[in-house]
Amino acid sequence: MPSDATSSSKRLRYQDVSVEARQILSQEGESHRFEFKETAEAVDARVLTAAANAVLVDEIAEGLVTILVGVKEVTDEQTGVVRGEVVGLVKMNDERARHASLEKARQKIQSRASETLPVPVGLRIIEEGVDTAAPFLRLEVRPTRAPHYTRDGLRVTRYGASTRAITDEELIDVYLVREAEAFRQRFTEIAGGLTGTVETLRGNVEATSEAIMSALKEVEDNAGYAAVEASEAASALREIEMELRDRPTSAEVIDWLEHGDLAIAAKLSRVAAHLTRRINSQRVKPTNPRPRKATS
């Protein structure tokens, strides 16, 4: 079991008195932040309502009011300083009976908290000094849906070491703070949802953009291959045209044949055969195959 000096603030039971409780006991009496009650019966719905409302009315930065139950106020006769003195909720030597008595006090206080409206106040109960001769309880009271009120409609807050009714102006301020907090929470939820939607849309846009760019690149590649093929075909046609320009016409060949110039006719016949093969080769010449895109 860790020592009180190094314990977590989330602990709900201390064998000895915690550092937090010691600091409160060393304060100068009760205030709007701290209150002392000698018995669990003294912690009623009015006390809890006043503590929860005081957090907003007095704008307590810590967000809670602490009540030490099993502690009374004592005044130093020489200095006049008022401090809390632990008297304990039970005075039993039997450990099991002492724990049972603390549990009974806890349940009684929780029952009183359930009587606060419109919803129960926030309440955290810490057992202090459970292995000492005078164990007591430390209550941390927070507002949940202020302003809180009792079953008989009392809307009260702390006033120093006592309580008082909340004024109309304070009620308006509390309602405004409550609605502003509710709006902030709703706005945060909506903003979070919109952020997720925007991120999704951004991802879709990026994916669509990549698909479009890929399609345009493919079109560009196809156009490039077509241009190369057209250029090669045009070049071949120009070569054939140049060769045809240097060849005799069919009328000239016939005239030569009629005049018996067999040597020239044989030469022309070979030229004609060469041109025929050249043209046929251009017709069946395979085009450069377009490379396929690599697939993963």
Question: What DSSP letter does each residue of 13-72 carry, written as one string?
Answer: B-SS--HHHHHHHTSSS--SSEEEESSGGG--HHHHHHHHHHHHHTT-TTS-EEEEETEE
Of 76, 33, 39, 38, the C-alpha closest to 57 is 33
pLDDT at 172 over 80: yes
Residue 84 in contact with residue 129, Cβ under 8 Å?
Answer: no
Residue 18 in contact with residue 138, Cβ under 8 Å?
Answer: yes
Of 134, 129, 112, the C-alpha closest to 121 is 112
Higher pLDDT, 1 or 286: 286
What is the pLDDT of the chain when averaged over all its residues? 81
Of 151, 147, 285, the C-alpha closest to 229 is 285
- Give me the pLDDT at residue 220, please: 76
pLDDT at 135 over 80: yes
The amino acid at residue 34 is F
Higher pLDDT, 260 or 84: 84
- Give me the pLDDT at residue 5, please: 39
- Give me the pLDDT at residue 4, please: 41
